[in-house]
Amino acid sequence: MWLKTTQQYEAETHARQRADAEERALRLHPDDVTRWTDVMKAVAPTVRTGARPCDYRPWQAALDAYGRVPHWIGKATLAEGMVAAQLMWMAWDVAQPAWPAPRRDLIDFALTFLEADVMLFRSGYCKKLLLRRLRQAPLAAGDMASLDGLIRRSVARGTGLEEFREYAKLAAKLELDGRLPGLRQWLEAEARGAVITGWEYIEMHTSGLNFEALLEAYGRQRTAFFRYPDFTEMTGRPRPDAASKAKRNAWLILMQIARTERAQGANA
């Protein structure tokens, strides 16, 4: 079986993106992007809480109800029973790399999609890409309140793993750029009591040890659990609940900030 290399896959992806660039520019006409942003703002207040965290049915039902009344969106009409798919088609187009810059409408779309917490098929992966686009975008001072709220919500409520990693990277960039004053202090307060695994403790506390000391730390601490910030060792395996998950989320973002800070120092 012939397998493509990463370089081959990336080359083919970039070739498809170049071939689609002209059509994508038409699909991302500012009027269309803005109108879909307005659709999300109109529908979000009508979405009911789902039975499960990743329940698509509330957003699907709310968009279906909105689509029963004829609405024009730029060149297209909202198709009854297809509004959710139409929204995700636009979201996927927005989420792809190489935004035409500067595009205020694309930033507003991404922020609205994230703030509304659109929950549809593959919306979690789409949010990950939208967060990456925002990290690369020329954000305005007025965007910071929305992003600060989104980051804090990701700590308190949690997200999918890949989406959360992008929140952590965005938080690190904005905090180290001085654009989110007070975030690190809030994270430190929220992270108190977070459970740290033995592997994570070893990674944090074994730099500079010789080989014998590393082996000793590995054998003694790899299966242990510790409490942040004093790293007192725990007895027994902890049972995670909502509060402990939020503490750990705060700690994970703090660690991303620390890693980013070290990388910037090494590259200075």
Residue 192 pLDDT level (bands cut at 50, 70, 90): very high
What are the pLDDT digits (tens) for 6-32? 777 667 766 777 767 788 888 999 999
Six token digits for residue 247: 């503490």
- Cis preceding-peptide flag for 100 (omega within 30 of 0): no
Name the one residue in this structure whose structure tokens are 């996927």. Answer: 92
Asked if residue 92 has pLDDT above 90, the reply is yes
Asked if residue 209 has pLDDT above 80, the reply is no
Asked if residue 2 has pLDDT above 60, the reply is no
Mean pLDDT (whole number) for 114-132: 96
**d(Cα 115, Cα 44) in Å, to the nearest integer?**
9
* One-letter amino acid of 213: A
With beta carbons less than 8 A apart as the criterion, state whether 133 and 98 touch.
Answer: no
Among 100-104, 168-172, 224-228, 251-255, which is the least confidently predicted range? 100-104
Q: For strand 232-233 and strand 225-227, is the pairing parallel, antiparallel, or unpaired?
A: antiparallel
Report pLDDT for 1: 43
With beta carbons less than 8 A apart as the criterion, state whether 226 and 234 touch.
Answer: yes
Mean pLDDT (whole number) for 198-211: 72
Report pLDDT for 16: 73
**C-alpha of 24 from chain center:** 24
Six token digits for residue 146: 């929305």
**d(Cα 212, Cα 220) in Å, to the nearest integer?**
12
Top-confidence residue, 3 or 93: 93
What are the pLDDT digits (tens) for 133-174? 999 999 999 999 999 999 999 999 999 999 999 999 999 999
Residue 128 pLDDT level (bands cut at 50, 70, 90): very high
Per the prediction, the chain carries an average pLDDT of 88
**d(Cα 127, Cα 33) in Å, to the nearest integer?**
16
**pTM of the shown model:** 0.87
Asked if residue 212 has pLDDT above 90, the reply is no
